[in-house]
Amino acid sequence: MSTAATLPPWLADQPVQGPVVPPEWLYRAEPTDRLTRLADRIAARSPVWLAPLAVLACMGGAVGYTLVTDPVAAEAGSEPTCLLKYLTGFVCPGCGGTRAAWYLLHGNLPAAARHHAVFVFAVPFLLYMYVAWAGRRIFRLTLPPLTITPRAMITFMAVWAVWSILRNLPFAPFTAFYV
C-alpha cells in the first residue's frame, strides 16, 4: 500500500510543511505550582553574578568546614560518622573524600589519593568547569569548553564503581585501599 493511499485525499498531493502532528499534541506543558513560578520569577530578576557567587560560597563553606573539623585527626577506635559504614562496616563510594580534600588543601597529593583517588582525579576537572562557567557567565570570558562525552562519563562511573568494590574486599592486596 502506498503512502498516498493512506493519507486523506485533501492532503495526498500537498507537500508536507513542518510536522504532520501539531506541536501541542507532542508536548503538553505541565502547569507549574506557585513555588516553581516564584523561583522562576526570582531567577529571571536576579543578577548574572549571583549563581556563580552562590556556588563559590557553597564551595567556600565546604572548604571551611573541612579545614575547621580536621577529619584526619579521628582516632583509630572512634565510631564512623558515615551511616552506611556504621551499619554495614562497608566503605561507601564517597568514603575518604573529606580527608582527601583536607590533604589536597594542605598540598599532600599522595595522601589525598590514598584516601580517595577518584575524587583527586575529578577535582581539577570540576574546578575548570566552574571557572569556565563562572567566567562565561560573569565576564563573558570564553574558555575552551570541557565536553564530557557519555562514554567518558560511563567509564568514569564504572571505574568509580569497581574501585568502590575493590576497596571493600577483605584480603590482600585490596586491604591497602581500605581507609
Asked if the model's pLDDT at residue 1 lies above 60, the reply is no
- Say how far apart CA 64 and CA 129 lie, in whole Å: 21
Compute CA 33 distance to the chain's CA centroid, rounded to the nearest angstrom: 26
Q: What is the pLDDT of residue 169?
A: 83
pLDDT tens digits, residue range 137-149? 899 888 888 888 9
- pLDDT (tens digit per residue) in 83-125: 777 788 788 888 888 889 999 999 999 999 988 889 999 999 9
**Sheet strands (E) in the chain:** none
Contact 120, 112 (CB under 8 A): yes
Q: How far, in whole angstroms, is CA 64 from its chain's centroid?
A: 21
Residue with the bigger pLDDT between 8 and 162: it is 162
The predicted pLDDT at position 20 comes to: 62
Whole-angstrom distance, CA of residue 40 vs CA of residue 59: 24
Mind listing the pLDDT tens digit for each residue in 18-75? 656 666 666 656 667 888 888 888 888 989 899 899 999 999 999 998 888 888 887 6
Work out the mean pLDDT of the chain and round it to a whole number: 82
pTM of structure: 0.69
Distance CA 179, CA 172 (A): 14
